[in-house]
Amino acid sequence: MKRQKHLSRFLLALAAIVVLVFLLAPIIAVIGGSFNGEGYFSFPPDTWSVRWYQAAASNEEHLSSLAHSLKVASVATLISVVLCIPASLALVKGSRKLTSFMKKIFMAPIFLPAIVWGVGMLLFFGKTNVRGSFGLLVAAHVVLVTPYLIRVVGSSLDEFNFTLEDAAISLGATPAQTFLRVTLPLISPGVVVGAVFGFMISFSELIITLFIAGSNFTTFPVRVYSEMRTEGLNPMVLAYSTIIVVVVLVISIIGEKCARWSRFFS
C-alpha cells in the first residue's frame, strides 16, 4: 500500500518534470544556442564562446530596434498608468451598470484576437498618415496594456478601505491631498505590479506592431520575426533574447515572491 503511494508520487513528479522540460525547451535552446561559437544555430553548442554577445553589443540595427521597443513600452505603460488610476477609481465607485459595461470594454483587448484588431487598425488608419507614426503605435500599446493594469489596480482597489478617504476628508484634507497622500500610496504596490506586467506585454508584442508600425520604426520583436522569416535563425538574436529572458526571469521571481502575480493570468 505504502509502496504504491510512493510509486504514484514518483510517477507524478516524473510526468511533471517531463512536461516542465517541454515547456521550457525553447527557452533552454535559446539560452544554450546563444553560447555557440559558430555562425549557425546549435544546441547544445558545438563550441562555446561569447562572440555573439560581443557582436550583439555593437550591432546598430538590433540595438536601435531594442531602443524602439523600450521607448514604446515605457511611454505606453506610463500613459496607461496615468489613465488607469483615475479610471479604476471610477470603476470602483461608479454605478454597477456602467462600470460592469466599461470593465468589459477595457478587458476586451485580451479577448479580441490581435490579428483582428491589427487588421482593423490597419484598415482604419491605413490611408491616413497617422499610420506608421510613433503616436499611433504608443496609443495602440496603451490599449494593449490597459487590461492588465485595470485588472491589477482594480484588485488592489477592491482591498482598499475607502473609509480612510472619508477620515482624511473629515480631518480637513482636500480631495487632491486625500488622493495623493492616502489613496495613491496604498494602491501603489498594485500600480507598480500592473505597470511592470504591462511593460513586458508591450515589450514583447508582435502582431499589432507589425500592422501599424512604420518601416523606419522597427521594434525588437518585429525585427526578429522578419529576420526569422527571411534569413532563418541568427545566433546574435539568441544572445539578445537570452538577456531579455534573464531580465524577465529576475523580474518574475520578484513579482511572484512579492505580489504572487501569476494569479493575474487566469
Partner 1 sequence: MNMLLLPLAALFFVMFIIPFFYLLYTSFLTYTSGQVSPGMPFTLGSYLKFFRDSYYAVVIGRTLWLSLLSAVICTIMAYPLAFFMARAQGYLKTILLVLVTLPLISGVVVQTMGWYGLLAAYGTVNNILKALHIIHDPIQFLGTSSAIVIGLVQSFLPYMVLPIMNILQVIPKNVLEAAENLGANGAQRFFRITFPLSLGGVGAGFVLVFGACLSSYTTPSILGSGKVQVIGTVVYQQAMQLFNWPFSAAISMILLVLLLILAVATSLKAKRKAANAA
Q: Which residues inside 157-196 make contact with partner 1, applying CB under 8 A?
A: none
CB of 153 to partner 1, least distance (A): 12
Among 65, 77, 178, 241, binds partner 1 (CB under 8 A): 241
Asked if 238 is part of the footprint of partner 1 (rule: CB under 8 A), the reply reads: yes
Part of the chain binding partner 1 (CB under 8 A), chosen from 58-66, 70-78, 166-174, 199-207: 199-207
Among 10, 13, 59, 96, binds partner 1 (CB under 8 A): 13
Q: Which is nearer to partner 1, 153 or 168 (CB)?
A: 153
User: What's the CA gap between 250 and 255, in Å, rounded?
Assistant: 9
Q: 29-38, long-range: CB within 8 Å, 24+ apart, which pairs?
A: 30/238, 30/241, 30/242, 30/245, 31/238, 31/242, 31/245, 33/233, 33/235, 33/238, 34/235, 34/238, 34/239, 34/241, 34/242, 36/235, 36/238, 38/235
Part of the chain binding partner 1 (CB under 8 A), chosen from 5-13, 59-67, 154-162, 166-174: 5-13
**Residues 71-90, mask of contacts with partner 1 (x by CB under 8 A):** ------------xx-xx-xx
Contacts with partner 1 in 89-128 (CB under 8 A)?
89-91, 93-94, 98, 102, 105-106, 108-109, 111-117, 119-126
Contacts with partner 1 in 207-226 (CB under 8 A)?
207, 210-211, 221, 224-225
Part of the chain binding partner 1 (CB under 8 A), chosen from 49-57, 58-66, 153-161, 232-240: 232-240
CB of 250 to partner 1, least distance (A): 10
CB of 200 to partner 1, least distance (A): 5
CB of 22 to partner 1, least distance (A): 6
How many alpha carbons fall within 13 Å on the CB side of residue 218?
16
